Amino acid sequence: MNQGSAPIRLVISDVDGTLVRKDKSLSPQVVAAVRRLREAGVAFTLISARPVSGVMPLIAPLGIDSPVAAINGGIIFRPDGSMIAEHRIDPHVTRGVFSLAENVAVDRWVFADNRWYASSLEGVHVEHERVASNQQPILREDFADLHDRADKVTFVSDDAPLLRDFAQRAIAEFGAGATIGQSQTYYLDVTNARANKGDGVTALAGMLGVDLAEVAVFGDMDNDIAMFARAGVSVAMGQAPDGVKAAANHVSTSNEQDGVAHAIDTFVLPRVAR
């Protein structure tokens, strides 16, 4: 969370819990703040745990014309949807985490081939994901044929201690070969080792010829800490867990209170002017 004095030339924002509100909508205040940022000559783009289909609807309203990262940086694509880079999970890891989850009370989602496969079609998280991923789930009991081409595996549970325990065991066994972390308190994501937001923001900045010291990042969850450590300026949303706030240079208002707009106006634009 080292903060230098370089001017900010690029802002990269997380999406859920950061850019959008609980109902997954963009507020007019956030859209206007991103416009002010771009008018000041600062590029703006996104990095999200969402699949490509879930990030695409945000591109036009925000005027994004730079590469964008989905699957926590596992996929980098152009605003027209064409691929730049894609990193799938090692099949050994996918098989292993599914085996580890056999007797754990979690729902299972697999994102592969630009589709979303789910072990259940019921529940509030499925409804939220229908909006976030901008697609309908395909019901599956057996995911074995997807193990060799999965972009992301998500385990879902509202039992926070159970999911934290499962996360710790998954990291201990497979963390050396994958990125394993919680994008929400009820989601545990497994992606390729290179599909993490630290490597993701490094790749995005490199494509735009921007030094990491000139990058500001916004986030709200544990999986955002990796990019906080790389960027010149990091901002946590007001509702973020204490550990996430401690890893950031600044804390904004919550995503329900237009935290991205506040961060742009308070922590980024003054650095641009200076």
The 10 Å Cβ neighbour count of residue 79 is: 16
The CATH number of the domain where 231 resides is what?
Answer: 3.40.50.1000
Q: Are residues 81 and 97 in the same domain?
A: no
Same domain assignment for residues 110 and 169:
yes
- At 47 the pLDDT is 98
Answer whether 48's CB lies under 8 Å from 69's CB: yes
Please identify, among 151, 175, 192, the residue that sits at the C-terminal boundary of a domain. 192
The pTM of the whole model exceeds 0.85: yes
Over the chain (274 residues), the average pLDDT of each successive run of 10 is 78 97 96 97 96 97 98 96 96 98 97 96 95 96 96 97 97 96 91 96 98 98 95 98 97 98 97 70
Count of domains for the chain: 2
- Give me the pLDDT at residue 48, please: 96
Distance CA(68)–CA(61), nearest Å, equals 14
Last residue within a domain, chosen from 161, 192, 223: 192
* Continuous H helices in the chain: 28-39, 52-62, 91-100, 124-133, 160-174, 197-208, 225-228, 242-247, 259-263, 269-273
The pLDDT assigned to 272 comes to: 85
Check residue 3 and give its pLDDT: 62
pLDDT for 4 equals 63
In this prediction, residue 5 carries a pLDDT of 76
pLDDT of residue 271: 87
- Look up residue 121 and give its DSSP letter: S
Boundary-marking domain end, from 136, 159, 192: 192
- Residues 203, 261 within the same domain: yes
